[in-house]
Amino acid sequence: MIDQCKCNETYNLRVEADISADAIWCNRCRTNFCISQVPLSEELKSELAEWISTYGEWIDWANDAIVTNGFELEEIHNQQGLKLTEKVKKEMNPKYKITFSPSTFAKRHANKEEMRVKYEKY
């Protein structure tokens, strides 16, 4: 696994969802690790893959917007990610520092929309 990383050696990993990516990343150089090479149980790898497959259900891709219940969907996804991160921590060697990076798309998009509306007044 480590040989995929651009760092000489890393034990600082992150669990994060993104489109067309696996769930484990180097937290230093942001390399995305192939999940098949991460030392986790097949059951947990499957759970992570299922979680990744739901990434973005809160996004209306065609209109660059958030679906009606998008904030709730993103929050549910982030809560699932936290639970999976705890499972990853339990299965990985204790020398690895594992953190979770939640999705912030809905919040960032709402802030962007708020700013757009604010400046349209001028």
- For the segment 2-27, the average pLDDT, to the nearest whole number, is 88
- Domain map of the chain by residue range? 2-120
Q: Are strands 97-100 and 12-15 parallel, antiparallel or unpaired?
A: parallel
Structure confidence at residue 120 (pLDDT): 56
Average pLDDT, the chain: 88
Chain segment 39-80, per-residue pLDDT in tens: 999 999 999 999 999 999 999 999 888 999 999 999 999 999
Helix ranges restricted to H, 1-122: 42-53, 70-91, 105-120
The answer, yes or no, to whether residue 10 has pLDDT greater than 60, is yes
Q: Token digits for 42?
A: 């097949």
pTM given for the model:
0.85
Structure confidence at residue 113 (pLDDT): 56
Q: Token digits for 20?
A: 């067309």
CA distance to 14, 18, 62, 76, 91, per residue, from 95 (Å):
14, 25, 43, 29, 11
